[in-house]
C-alpha cells in the first residue's frame, strides 16, 4: 500500500526525530519516514516504518568549539545533492500524497517540482555558520533555502508567537508520557537528587560530558546519569551510562536537573516537564548559541558548572503546558 505521508527527518542530531515522533503519534494516516542511522533507530523503536538512507557529514568539534565551518558547509551541500536523488527515488516508489520535512530541504525541492503538498518543520529560517569570504557562499545557500521555504504550503515553527504568511507557530513540540514523575523515578531507580547529562546523537558533546563528570564528582548524595547517545563511548565504572535511549523525555521528567547541549528539542522537553536545565552550546554553532542565549547560557558557562549545578538543583520545578505536537499534526492533516 502506498504511504499517504512521506516524512523526511534530518538525521543531524536526534532532536528532529524526537519532535517528529511526537507529531506522528497524532497522525492517523499511513506514513513512512526517510532519515539516517541514529534517527532511524529512534523512530523505528516507536513502531514507525523507516528507510535508512541519509548519511550526513559530521561536525568537527574540538574542546567544545566547532571547527572548519566552511568545510562542513561544503560537505553539507554535497550531502544535499545526494539527498535529492535519494528523496526523489523514495517519492517515486512510495507515491506519498503529502511530504513533511523536518529540515530536509532536498525532499521539499522534489515535492515542489512534482507539485505535491509539502510542509516544513524547522527551528531556523536561515543559517549563520560562516564569517568573512565564506559567508558569501552561505548567503547564496540561504537565498535558495528562503525560496524553498516560500514555496512550502506551510512552515511549522515549534515556538510561540503569531502566524505570518505561510508560517504557523504552534509552540514547543514534545513527546508525551502516560506516567507520573513518581512512577518514572521508581522505574528508573532514581532515589537521590538526580542529574542527567545528555549530548544527543553524536560525539560532539564529549567535551560537556567530561566537564559534568568533573563537577558532579565534587557533590555528595547526587546520582549522575549519562545519556551518551549511539556513538559516544564513556568509560567510567562509577557512573551510570544509559548510552542510547528512546525515552529521554521521561528520564528528563524523572530527574532533578538536565545538563545538555543547547538543542531545541531537549530544551523544550526540559521546560515542558518542569525540570531545571543547564544548556551549553557548541562554540561557533549559531543555532545552539542562539538557543542557549535565550535560556540565559553561554559557552563559557561550562567553566561555571561547580556553582551552577547546586543553584539549579535548589530551584523550583515549573511545568509548561504545550500541545504543539497535536497542533502540528492537525495542520498536516488539513492536506490529506
51 found inside a domain:
yes
220 and 91 assigned to the same domain: no
37 and 62 assigned to the same domain: yes
- Specify the number of domains making up the chain: 2
164 and 218 assigned to the same domain: no
Tens-place pLDDT, residues 261-300: 999 999 999 999 999 999 999 999 989 999 999 999 999 9
Q: What is the pTM of this model?
A: 0.92
The rounded mean pLDDT for the chain is 92
118 and 198 assigned to the same domain: no
User: Which pLDDT band holds residue 1 (cuts at 50, 70, 90)?
Assistant: very low
48 and 91 assigned to the same domain: yes
67 found inside a domain:
yes
318 found inside a domain:
no
d(CA 283, CA 261): 10
Entry field: residues in the chain: 336
Write phi, then psi, for 257 (nearest 5 degrees): -160, 135
Tens-place pLDDT, residues 218-234: 999 999 999 987 556 66
> Using an 8 Å Cβ cutoff, are 324 and 170 in contact?
yes
Helix %, strand %, coil % for the chain, to 5? Answer: 45, 20, 40
Tens-place pLDDT, residues 46-89: 999 999 999 998 888 888 888 888 888 889 889 999 999 999 99
Tens-place pLDDT, residues 117-128: 999 999 988 888
Domain with residue 294: its CATH number is: 3.40.50.2000
198 and 160 assigned to the same domain: no
Tens-place pLDDT, residues 318-336: 998 899 999 999 999 999 8
User: Which pLDDT band holds residue 259 (cuts at 50, 70, 90)?
Assistant: very high
68 and 203 assigned to the same domain: no
160 and 272 assigned to the same domain: no
319 found inside a domain:
no
150 and 208 assigned to the same domain: no
Query: What is the torsional sign of CA 53, 85, 2, 34?
Result: positive
Residue 178's pLDDT is 94
The residue segments making up the domain with residue 87 are: 5-172+324-333
Amino acid at each position: 500500500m502506498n504511504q499517504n505521508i512521506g516524512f523526511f527527518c534530518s538525521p543531524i542530531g536526534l532532536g528532529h526525530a524526537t519532535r517528529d515522533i511526537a507529531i506522528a503519534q497524532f497522525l492517523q494516516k499511513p506514513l513512512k519516514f526517510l532519515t539516517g542511522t541514529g534517527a532511524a533507530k529512534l523512530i523505528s523503536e516507536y513502531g514507525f516504518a523507516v528507510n535508512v538512507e541519509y548519511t550526513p557529514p559530521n561536525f568537527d568539534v574540538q574542546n567544545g568549539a566547532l571547527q572548519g565551518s566552511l568545510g562542513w558547509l561544503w560537505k553539507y551541500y554535497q550531502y544535499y545533492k545526494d539527498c535529492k536523488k535519494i528523496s526523489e527515488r523514495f517519492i517515486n516508489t512510495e507515491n506519498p500524497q503529502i511530504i513533511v520535512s523536518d529540515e530536509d530541504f532536498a525532499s521539499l525541492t522534489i515535492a515542489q517540482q512534482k507539485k505535491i503538498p509539502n510542509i516544513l518543520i524547522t527551528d531556523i529560517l536561515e543559517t549563520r555558520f560562516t564569517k568573512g569570504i565564506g559567508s558569501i557562499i552561505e548567503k547564496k545557500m540561504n537565498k535558495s533555502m528562503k525560496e524553498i521555504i516560500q514555496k512550502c504550503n506551510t512552515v511549522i515553527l515549534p515556538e510561540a508567537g503569531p502566524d505570518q504568511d505561510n508560517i504557523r507557530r504552534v509552540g514547543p513540540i514534545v513527546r508525551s508520557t502516560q506516567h507520573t514523575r513518581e512512577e518514572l523515578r521508581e522505574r528508573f531507580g532514581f532515589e537521590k537528587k538526580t542529574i542527567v547529562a545528555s549530548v544527543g546523537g553524536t560525539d560532539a558533546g564529549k567535551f560537556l560530558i567530561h566537564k559534568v563528570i568533573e563537577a558532579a564528582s565534587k557533590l555528595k548524595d547526587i546520582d549522575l546519569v549519562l545519556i551518551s547517545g549511539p556513538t559516544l563511548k564513556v568509560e567510567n565504572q562509577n557512573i551510570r551510562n544509559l548510552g542510547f535511549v528512546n525515552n529521554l523525555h521521561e528520564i528528563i521528567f524523572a530527574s532533578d536537573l538536565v545538563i545538555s547541549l543547547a538543542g531545541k528539542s531537549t530544551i523544550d522537553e526540559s521546560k515542558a516537564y518542569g525540570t531545571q536545565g543547564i544548556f551549553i552550546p557548541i562554540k561557533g554553532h549559531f543555532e545552539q548559541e542562539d538557543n542557549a542565549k535565550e535560556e540565559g547560557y553561554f559557552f563559557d558557562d561550562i567553566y561555571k558548572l561547580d556553582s551552577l549545578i547546586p543553584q539549579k538543583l535548589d530551584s523550583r520545578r515549573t511545568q509548561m503546558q504545550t500541545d504543539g505536537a497535536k497542533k502540528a499534526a492537525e495542520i498536516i492533516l488539513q492536506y490529506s
